[in-house]
């Protein structure tokens, strides 16, 4: 009997970013409501978040290699989702099913271990290494062609209440936000 | 007598990125030959690099605030230019006049000091804190509305020879590179 080629799917599980509240789903890196954004999607499996991303040709640093700022962006958004999921699990909620709380980045450290080739799909894997009430620390590895290319260490904090007081229509161009 | 409102210009000085060799001017963040890129431009004055950038409406994190991945990208490219300029000065060359050597990022640390408002022009100022033969360490401050918003510490290294061996046409879509 031949197994299906597709990876087993967790029935009913969504990418974590698809469960951000609408008001906070405009992020250029991972917001489903940002028409011009990167749309990073992180899935949660057994305490680990996994995302895959295919850089566009313009996401170039030097010929043949991925732009480091894109790598930092992918690590950032993937880490925020990881922090949220780890925090949810600790509180008894189900990541990928229940609404995802919004975390923001306090600090981002990226070590570029080797030049990341532009062409293959990138894979990001992340785990929370410390889950506090307000602060979560996340470790991320970005790989291409089965090689470790960049390592991230990200400090995430729960979105401060003061960041939720603005109306999107006051600060963004409605044409660029679906 | 009324002084001109414009800042005095250093005659004949160009942004550092405009003096990268053509083969290495495709960077998404700062390459003049990347039609879809951010086009960060850093100018060198008395040991300090200054850049100004106006985020687009889609460069949003949460409503009203700039995306952290964009901030990391601006800090990254501005730091690489700063590293190059400091290295040039040490070698007796003139930043903004002579060709700018290409550095690449070994590590990037960004501390987000406060949410960066989306709307005003951002200002980045950077200085090299250590200038070695191969490695340069750069400190960067990003400000908006005269407030410090993000601080970067970036380790730059001279572009390894192995990164210069690829042809841009093999890895990028020619339509996206002018």
Q: For position B173, what pLDDT does the model report?
A: 34
Looking at the complex, does the CB of residue A91 fall below 8 Å from at least one CB of chain B? no
Does pLDDT of A177 surpass 60?
no
Tokens describing residue B86:
């400091």
State residue B3's pLDDT score. 39
Q: Read off the tokens for A150.
A: 């960049």
What residues of A are in contact with residue B115 (Cβ under 8 Å)? 104, 160, 162-163
Question: pLDDT class for A165, splitting at 50, 70, 90?
Answer: low
Answer whether A62 sits within 8 Å of B159, measured CB to CB. yes
Report helix, strand or coil for A63: coil
- Over residues A9-63, the pLDDT tens digits come to 556 799 999 999 999 999 999 999 999 999 999 999 999 999 999 999 999 999 9
If you write DSSP's letter for every residue of chain B in order, what string do you get?
-PPPSSPPP-TT---GGGGS-GGG---TTT-TTBTTS----EEEETTEEEEEE---TT-BSSTTBB-HHHHHHHHHHHHHHHHHHHHHHHHT--TTTSPPPPEEEEEEEEEE-SPPBSSSPEEEEEEEEEE-SSEEEEEEEEEETTEEEEEEEEEEEEPPGGGG-S-HHHHS-GGGB-
Residue B8 has pLDDT above 70, yes or no: no
What pLDDT score does B162 carry? 77
State the nearest Cα–Cα gap between B145 and chain A, in angstroms.
15
How many Cβ atoms sit within 10 Å of the Cβ of residue A56?
15
Q: Three-class SS of residue A146?
A: coil
Residue A103 φ then ψ, to 5°: -105, 155
What pLDDT score does B161 carry?
A: 82
Residue that wins the pLDDT comparison between A170 and B89? B89
Tell whether ipTM is more than 0.85: yes
pLDDT in tens, B39-73: 999 999 999 999 999 999 999 999 999 999 999 99
B70 and A28 within 8 Å at the Cβ level: the answer is yes
């Amino acid at each position: 009997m031949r197994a299906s080629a597709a990876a087993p799917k967790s029935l009913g599980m969504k990418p974590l970013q698809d469960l951000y509240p609408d008001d906070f789903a405009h992020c250029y890196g991972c917001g489903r409501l940002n028409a011009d954004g990167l749309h990073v999607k992180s899935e949660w499996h057994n305490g680990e978040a996994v995302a895959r991303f295919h850089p566009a040709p313009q996401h170039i640093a030097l010929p043949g290699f991925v732009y480091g700022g894109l790598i930092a962006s992918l690590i950032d958004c993937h880490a925020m989702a990881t922090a949220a999921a780890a925090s949810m699990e600790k509180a008894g909620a189900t990541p990928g099913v229940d609404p995802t709380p919004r975390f923001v980045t306090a600090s981002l450290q990226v070590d570029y271990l080797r030049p990341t080739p532009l062409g293959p799909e990138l894979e990001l894997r992340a785990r929370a290494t410390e889950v506090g009430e307000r602060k979560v620390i996340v470790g991320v590895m970005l790989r291409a062609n089965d090689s470790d290319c960049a390592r991230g260490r990200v400090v995430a904090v729960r979105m401060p209440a003061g960041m939720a007081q603005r109306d999107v229509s006051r600060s963004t161009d409605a044409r660029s936000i679906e």
